[in-house]
Amino acid sequence: MTDKYPRGQKYDMPDTRGHFGPYGGIFVAETLMPAITELNEAYQRYIDDPEFIAELDADLRDYVGRPSPLYHAKRWSEHLGGAQVYLKREDLNHTGAHKVNNTVGQALLAKRMGKTRIIAETGAGQHGVATATVAARLGLECVVYMGAVDVARQALNVYRMKLLGAKVVPVESGSKTLKDALNEALRDWVTNIDNTFYIIGTVAGPHPYPAMVRDFQAVIGREAKRQCLDQAGRLPDALVACVGGGSNAIGLFYPFIDETDVAMYGVEAAGDGIATGRHSAPLCAGRPGVLHGNRTYLMADDDGEIIETHSISAGLDYPGVGPEHAWLKDTGRANYVNITDDEALEGFHALTRMEGIIPALESSHALAYTMKLAPTMRKDQIIITNLSGRGDKDMHTIMQREGISL
């Protein structure tokens, strides 16, 4: 094992059954157990296999375009009048977001396991596009489940997936959004276990998904750490990333967990405001429960039914969150804060005008929190904010919201 997959750090969660303290685990129907076991064995075997890692690294470099830059946003930092803000430019990856780091990894795993069919769930469509992309490249059949509501509001990404040869299945059950797409993908997997690999897009789901997706996304934090040392000669004081399921955040945080002087801020979507109940902030305003195969913080009512969520950003519109975030919250290692739709839009415009970078609405939540945090810090301090995706996909949403027509 190289130091590239530094699971030898002091922090060694999860345990062998996928527990992060009381969170995580494997909570699935018996029909899925053999598939989970098979996947876990393959993941354990290949994540430390030098040949697998070499192929993954080559793909990340030549196909995804890594390393992504760490960019010192000098003008914006000056304007905010506090800490120096560095942006980890995941928006510059192939397909425009961090999602591809994980789909490249899982697709290689699928290939090694001899699976010929890929399924995925998607909310905003970024993970669906990233999955359809790697499936096209490897010549694998690809089916993407997407809530009917999301299909309607993310038409551009639906078209991209279709161009890439994926079949997009609109999900009409429940609230017709991301969580229902996940339910439907799980049902597909149960039915087609023999030839199908399920690429989950975030650090949720049953073990090994939270750990596996983290390991594939941790390239973000490993690069950022090295780049920050190169550019500034020291580690950052704070990390900021948006949290829906939490894959871009855990990718940035994970390699820093042992560096206890580095503060971590996960930014949840407060939608219309936490007090309105119309939000997607289970860590800030939810409670522990079990959904989609793991125990974590959820948005649920007193009967344990899952509450419908709201965020301007489809990628954060999910009632659960990765179990490792639940653990980092309870242990106090990371701080979880929230940003409303309106504040996220301020972050969106600020970066666009100040730095000439149009961010995704998801990432805009992290930017908006950075705007609050930076002025409270000294000018010689450093924040790394994860710019997890680019904003092209959100033009329509923002135009509608702001009453703009061309």
Mind telling me the catalytic residues?
A: 99, 121, 388
Q: Is residue 283 within the footprint of another protein (CB under 8 A)?
A: no
H helix intervals, 113-269: 126-138, 148-153, 155-163, 178-191, 209-217, 219-232, 247-253
The Cβ of residue 329 has, within 10 Å, a number of other Cβ atoms equal to 21
Beta pairing class for 84-89 and 70-72: antiparallel
Tokens of 180: 């229902």
Give the residue from 234, 214, 128 showing the smallest Cα distance to 171. 128
Q: Is residue 127 within the footprint of another protein (CB under 8 A)?
A: no
Q: Is residue 331 within the footprint of another protein (CB under 8 A)?
A: no
Closer to another protein by Cβ: residue 92 or 171: 171
Tokens of 265: 């801020």
Tokens of 108: 């290689």
Closer to another protein by Cβ: residue 66 or 325: 325
Closer to another protein by Cβ: residue 69 or 289: 289
- Phi (first) and psi of residue 270, to 5 degrees: -90, 0
* Four-point Cα dihedral 309, 278, 295, 143, nearest 10: 10
Number of residues that bind another protein (CB under 8 A): 36
Residue from 173, 195, 276, 376 in contact with another protein (CB under 8 A): 173
Q: Is residue 218 within the footprint of another protein (CB under 8 A)?
A: no
Question: Shortest distance, CB of residue 355 to another protein, whole angstroms?
Answer: 40
Interaction residues for another protein, span 332-351 (CB under 8 A): none
Tokens of 397: 């949403």
Closer to another protein by Cβ: residue 40 or 227: 40
Tokens of 341: 């739709």
Q: Is residue 117 within the footprint of another protein (CB under 8 A)?
A: no
Residue from 110, 146, 164, 186 in contact with another protein (CB under 8 A): 186
Residue from 3, 230, 303, 402 in contact with another protein (CB under 8 A): 303
Closer to another protein by Cβ: residue 329 or 393: 329
Closer to another protein by Cβ: residue 175 or 381: 175
Q: Compute the chain's Rg from CA coordinates.
A: 19
Bridge partners of residue 84, in order along the sequence: 382
> Which range in 68-76, 184-192, 247-255, 327-335 contacts another protein by CB under 8 A?
184-192
Give dist(CA 54, CA 333) in Å, integer: 32
Interaction residues for another protein, span 55-94 (CB under 8 A): none
> Is 318 exposed, middle or buried (CB count within 10 Å of its CB: 0-12, 13-18, 19+)?
buried
Question: Shortest distance, CB of residue 258 to another protein, whole angstroms?
Answer: 29
Residue from 291, 312, 371, 373 in contact with another protein (CB under 8 A): 291
Q: Is residue 295 within the footprint of another protein (CB under 8 A)?
A: yes
Beta pairing class for 70-72 and 23-24: unpaired
How many CA atoms does the CB half-sphere of 270 hold within 13 Å?
20
Interaction residues for another protein, span 9-38 (CB under 8 A): 17, 25-31, 33-34
Residue from 190, 274, 354, 358 in contact with another protein (CB under 8 A): 190
Tokens of 5: 């997959």
Residue from 231, 277, 288, 358 in contact with another protein (CB under 8 A): 288
Q: Is residue 179 within the footprint of another protein (CB under 8 A)?
A: yes
Tokens of 39: 């996947």
Alpha carbon separation from 89 to 71, 184, 323 (Å, rounded) = 7, 32, 25
The Cβ of residue 62 has, within 10 Å, a number of other Cβ atoms equal to 10
Closer to another protein by Cβ: residue 32 or 134: 32
Question: Shortest distance, CB of residue 299 to another protein, whole angstroms?
Answer: 11
Contact 406, 260 (CB under 8 A): no
Contact 107, 134 (CB under 8 A): yes
Q: Is residue 263 within the footprint of another protein (CB under 8 A)?
A: no
Closer to another protein by Cβ: residue 236 or 319: 319
Residue type, 183: N
Residue from 166, 204, 306, 316 in contact with another protein (CB under 8 A): 306
Q: Which residues bind another protein (CB under 8 A)?
A: 17, 25-31, 33-34, 173-174, 179-180, 183, 186-187, 190-191, 193, 287-293, 295, 298, 300-306
